[in-house]
Structure 1
Amino acid sequence: MALTDTKEMFRKAYEGHYAIGAFNVNNMEIIQGIMEAAHEEQSAVILQASEGARKYAGSPYIVDLVKTAVRQYPEIPVALHLDHGSCFEVCKDCIDGGFTSVMFDGSKHPFEENVRITKQVVEYAHAHGVVVEAELGRLAGVEDMVSVDAKDAIFTDPEEAAEFVALTGCDSLAIAIGTSHGAYKYSGEPYLDYERLEKVGKLLPNYPIVLHGASTVIPEYVAKCNEFGGKVLGAKGVPEDMLRKAATMAVCKINIDTDIRLAMTAAIRESLVKHPENFDPRSYLKAGRQAVKDMVSHKIQAVVGSSHSI
């Protein structure tokens, strides 16, 4: 099976009241861990690369690594997605380079400008058989080292969301209902605006909604990072039961990045501390890869609910 887009994934997810996990990738071990989990869980997955990941690994490396993974697990539907494309040119480069899905994040722009550029991306993408995710509303937190203060976060207006989709023709829409980027999501109690999500779902029936900033920042992994020399203090994420509820509503795609980073880093730190004599990267990276697999399996089961859906 070749790389696919997200249309059929989202159709089945909407009908089945589950979501598809969108997991950020940066290197071979992360891709391997995600795909091993998807194979065991028999679930479609979205492998997504941010602009930062493309700069780190090189876009051709990411594309070819993902294509290799697809050849190894041909029964698993896999989409390769650009996460948070900042402009038309970046989206175009990914479309031309083999991505099957791109996101243009125009949430920092005024509504009219967001519509204009999103529509430009949609027209180019659709002409090349690629689907487009857009964003309306702004999440707080840190994405690719760019910080958005909580005071600048803007929850998505349901009426505007329906108008935006009609004007742009985007295939899915990321909305802001209380999630946040990074490991430090909340200073108070976690909150997701389900009423807002329900309104969006009614105005956009059978339309796939996306949640960004949806890592839980699982305490045991934070603790392990800190136990073995890390300094991850005060981190707090979105409770998994809250995300699972969203996945039974209009949400068809849930982005998970921070939890993978924490799991992998905790495993590598533990390996290096417990085996200081070992200088073979294959040893500690193997531990990191296993941690990624375990985390993704857990997320597929407990959060997105897509186990045994293919």
Structure 2
Amino acid sequence: MGHLISSTSMLETARANGYGITAFNVHTLEMLQAVVEAAEEAQAPLILQTTVGTVKHLGPEYIVAAASVAAKTSSVPIALHLDHCTDYDLIVRCIRAGYTSVMIDASMHPFEENVRRTAEVVQVAKAAGVNVEAELGKVGGVEDDIVVEEEDARLADPKECVVFVERTGVPTFAPAIGTAHGIYKGEPNIAFHKLEQIFNSVQVPLVLHGGSGIPADQVKRCVSLGMAKMNVATELRIAFSDAIKHIFAQNPEENDPRKYMVPAKEAVKRLAIEKMQLTGCVGRANECKA
């Protein structure tokens, strides 16, 4: 491809054609390489994501450098997204470093303040050709340092969604519909009736948060109702860590990182391909090239 691209056009293409693009939260170079290799093998468009914690851990410049190499050497379109950020200054820093998509999460604020903060980021990002994602309602669970207790989770109101998108101009939108970050303790209680209302009244691509562990039939139904992006974080992290634990269980004295990183990469790659198949983006890379 040559360079990282904005995810706006690829997500608009996905929504228009009835499939979703899987976005993977990566925390190490090996995880990044694994999902890129998966996308290459599957010929699927790819969104790499990093949490605020990962940005602070590695530095946005290092992350952009690694993602840029992936984009340069891969034949599939790749975007780089900053997930769930509440800090305007960090969003600007990531845009300047080369991120091609950012999420301003002001969902914990009252509606008007969420609109104000989102519109402010949209204005800056639009000038840089960068996609923006925003959330309405509250997705439960834990995402880095953002903790939303189950009783505090709140579904998005379809009528408010229309107003929010119109007033902010946000090009991709994450309505809270009953999913949660992390691994589900039971069956997810997705409000499909609300999602259908939002899908029919909001024209921008929708984003499914809390994609780890949602049953396949529910994911497919979400995608059919405009969820053009599905975030996967916890499952990927578990696959990576469990593969490493397995190596140390077999050989506690192992001290060569290459010996345990290779199987960890393979585990992530296998899972990533499964998630790409689930959202229907396998073989769609050529449709999404900028």
Please indicate, yes or no, whether the TM-score normalized by the shorter chain is above 0.5: yes
- The CA deviation at 1:7 is 2.2
TM-score by length of 1: 0.89
Partner of 2:117: 117
Q: Is the 8 A contact 2:8 2:172 kept in 1?
A: no
TM-score by length of 2: 0.95
- The CA deviation at 1:279 is 1.2
Which amino acid in structure 2 is aligned with residue 7 of structure 1? T
Q: Is the 8 A contact 1:26 1:49 kept in 2?
A: yes
- The CA deviation at 1:245 is 1.5
Question: C-alpha separation between the residues in 2 aligned to 1:101 and 1:141?
Answer: 23
- The CA deviation at 1:277 is 3.6
Which amino acid in structure 2 is aligned with residue 50 of structure 1? T
Question: C-alpha separation between the residues in 2 aligned to 1:305 and 1:18?
Answer: 5
User: What's the secondary structure of 2:103's corresponding residue?
Assistant: strand
Question: C-alpha separation between the residues in 2 aligned to 1:147 and 1:85?
Answer: 13
User: What's the secondary structure of 2:37's corresponding residue?
Assistant: helix
Partner of 1:38: 39
**Are 2:211 and 1:214 aligned?**
yes
Which amino acid in structure 2 is aligned with residue 307 of structure 1? V
Partner of 2:242: 266
Cα-to-partner distance string for 1:123-161 (whole Å, 9 max, x where unaligned):
111111111111101011111043211110000001100
Q: Summarize the alignment of residues 1-310 of structure 1 with structure 2, pairs less than 5 Å apart.
A: 1-73=2-74, 75-183=75-183, 185-186=184-185, 188-205=186-203, 207-216=204-213, 238-301=214-277, 303-310=278-285
Which amino acid in structure 2 is aligned with residue 36 of structure 1? E
Question: C-alpha separation between the residues in 2 aligned to 1:191 and 1:102?
Answer: 27
Gaps of 5+ in 1: 217-237
User: What's the secondary structure of 2:245's corresponding residue?
Assistant: helix
Which amino acid in structure 1 is aligned with residue 85 of structure 2? G
Which amino acid in structure 1 is aligned with residue 17 of structure 2? G
Superposition RMSD in Å:
1.1
- The CA deviation at 1:193 is 1.1
User: What's the secondary structure of 2:264's corresponding residue?
Assistant: helix
Which amino acid in structure 1 is aligned with residue 236 of structure 2? I
- % identity of equivalent residues: 41
Q: Is the 8 A contact 1:46 1:80 kept in 2?
A: yes
Question: C-alpha separation between the residues in 2 aligned to 1:52 and 1:37?
Answer: 24
Question: C-alpha separation between the residues in 1 aligned to 2:175 and 2:69?
Answer: 32
Question: C-alpha separation between the residues in 1 aligned to 2:170 and 2:187?
Answer: 33
Question: C-alpha separation between the residues in 2 aligned to 1:112 and 1:150?
Answer: 24
Cα-to-partner distance string for 1:90-145 (whole Å, 9 max, x where unaligned):
21111111101110001000000000111110111111111111110101111104
Q: Is the 8 A contact 1:26 1:62 kept in 2?
A: no
- The CA deviation at 1:304 is 1.1
User: What's the secondary structure of 1:285's corresponding residue?
Assistant: helix
Question: C-alpha separation between the residues in 2 aligned to 1:146 and 1:133?
Answer: 17
Q: Is the 8 A contact 1:10 1:252 kept in 2?
A: yes
Question: C-alpha separation between the residues in 1 aligned to 2:84 and 2:98?
Answer: 17
Point out which structure has higher relative CO (alpha carbons under 8 A, 6+ apart): 2
- The CA deviation at 1:276 is 2.6
User: What's the secondary structure of 1:76's corresponding residue?
Assistant: coil
Cα-to-partner distance string for 1:246-304 (whole Å, 9 max, x where unaligned):
11221101000001011111111111111234210111011111111011011101x21
- The CA deviation at 1:190 is 2.2
User: What's the secondary structure of 1:62's corresponding residue?
Assistant: helix
- The CA deviation at 1:66 is 0.5
Which amino acid in structure 2 is aligned with residue 288 of structure 1? A
Give the aligned length: 284
Question: C-alpha separation between the residues in 2 aligned to 1:102 and 1:134?
Answer: 9
Partner of 1:223: none
Which amino acid in structure 1 is aligned with residue 239 of structure 2? A
Which amino acid in structure 2 is aligned with residue 192 of structure 1? I
User: What's the secondary structure of 1:138's corresponding residue?
Assistant: coil
Q: Is the 8 A contact 2:162 2:202 kept in 1?
A: yes
Gaps of 5+ in 2: 286-290
User: What's the secondary structure of 1:154's corresponding residue?
Assistant: coil
Cα-to-partner distance string for 1:223-247 (whole Å, 9 max, x where unaligned):
xxxxxxxxxxxxxxx2122112211
